Structure 1
Amino acid sequence: MLALLTYPILTASAVQAQSIAEGQKLAFDRAKGNCLTCHVIKGGDLPGTIGPELSDLKSRYSRDDLIAIVSDETKRNPLTVMPPFGRNRILSEKEINAVVDFLQTL
């Protein structure tokens, strides 16, 4: 008899919640996303003040804009001090998407 493997079925909202949690973890991780070095983020400890406070982002930026900013803000603003997380491979595409999922909740 053939045994069937069963896998938990994740709903879209469960997958989204998982991505948001991963994005927050990356944003607050001093060794990875490190967003707190420059930005005030609700719930973060010891934030920096070099960059703008990250709040109400969903109403100000489209998802594509946020992905572009996190991936390589130098394309939009050559004088930025923000690291190009995608271009420099600091964050993978999946990680950038998770960070953007989190940023859109602020």
Structure 2
Amino acid sequence: MTAFPRTPVLYVLLAIAAGLAAGPVRAQSAVADGQKLAFDRGKGNCLTCHVIKGGDLPGTIGPELKDIKSKYPDRNELVAIIFDETKRNPQTMMPPFGRNRILTEQEISAIVDFLQTL
């Protein structure tokens, strides 16, 4: 019986295969984390101002968050809005979540992942 050769190439191929298999799981996890943050009244707090499908007791100050991927095909634009909408619209009521360190870059990215599923 012949054993698999233990070469660096084999390890690299196994690592790539493992990464590809984990990709969808990580993406689903980011979406779930983003939804949790968006619905969290103490952290992301998106529901205070926005209607979001699946959210309880939404506000009506901001626009309804739907069809986000078609409205913002450039992911970076949505990240910038959440980070500091005052740069684009100085009169906005939306807090600058990133600038004020309410949300980390990773948390903003997770929220964007979630919003792009709406």
TM-score of the superposition, structure 1-length normalised?
0.90
Letter in 1 for 2:38: A
- List runs of 5+ in structure 1 lacking aligned partners: 1-7
Aligned with 1:24 (options 8, 18, 35): 35
Alignment partner, residue 100 of structure 1: 112
CA RMSD of aligned residues (A): 1.2
Q: Report the CA distance between 1:47 and its aligned residue.
A: 0.1
TM-score of the superposition, structure 2-length normalised?
0.81
Q: Name the structure where helix makes up a greater proportion of residues.
A: 2
- CA deviation string 1:3-37 (max 9, x = no partner): xxxxx866111101000000000000000000000
Aligned with 1:50 (options 61, 82, 100): 61
Identity of counterpart residues, as a percentage? Answer: 70
- List runs of 5+ in structure 2 lacking aligned partners: 1-17
Alignment partner, residue 87 of structure 2: 75
**Quick one: higher RCO (CA 8 Å, sep 6+), 1 or 2?**
1
